[in-house]
Amino acid sequence: MKKNKPRILVIHGPNLNLLGKRETSLYGSTTFAKLNQLLKKEAEKLKLSLQTFQSNSEGQIVNKINSSLGKIDLIIINPAAYTHTSVAIRDALLAVEIPSIEVHISNIFKREEFRKQSLISDVAIGIISGLGIHSYILALEAARKVLTK
Ligand code: DQA
């Protein structure tokens, strides 16, 4: 019998749509479209079913998490600026009880004080921060491990 692939949702928070143009010394020159292409390729290799979602709006991210209930096995999330402010995204992850991995392109602990606090980290399985877009690839590999152990 064919086994169903683990279902992964990658959520990109605000301004990540501007990757490749935005503060390239911090976030690199890979465009947002290219990043999603790379993720798709990597997910195929890892035999994961992948959906990606980007929004600049907190409410839309909360809605997306809510509607993932029963449809998604693991969420990889870069909440971007909402990392440091959003009780709503934190509560949504707790509400649906879908395991999550928090990802950041930059090392949030090496930057301004306000970025050192994440409202998401302690509700996620783990956090990958500071490895550029490779942070996402590592999160996909970790997701595969978590879901097939
Ligand atoms: C970020 C770090 C956040 O502090 C920032 O607001 C972002 C991107 C990162 O991926 O490094 O938008 O999440």
Instruction: Please check whether residue 19 is in contact with residue 59, taking contact to mean a CB–CB distance below 8 angstroms.
Output: no
Annotated domain spans of the chain: 7-147
User: Given 3.40.640.10, 3.20.20.140, 1.10.10.10, 3.40.50.9100, which CATH number is that of 7-147?
Assistant: 3.40.50.9100
List, in sequence order, the alpha helices (H) in the chain.
24-27, 32-45, 58-66, 87-96, 134-147
Catalytic residue IDs: 27, 104
- Reported pTM: 0.97
DSSP state of 55: -
Distance, in Å, from the CA atom of 1 to the CA atom of 27, rounded to the nearest integer, reads 43
pLDDT confidence band for 67 (50 / 70 / 90): very high
CA dihedral for 85, 14, 63, 130, sign (positive or negative): negative
Smallest CA separation from ligand 1 atom 3, residue: 80
Instruction: Give the model's pLDDT for residue 1.
Output: 65
Is 81 near ligand 1, meaning CB less than 6 Å away? yes
pLDDT in tens, 4-37: 999 999 999 999 999 999 999 999 999 999 999 9
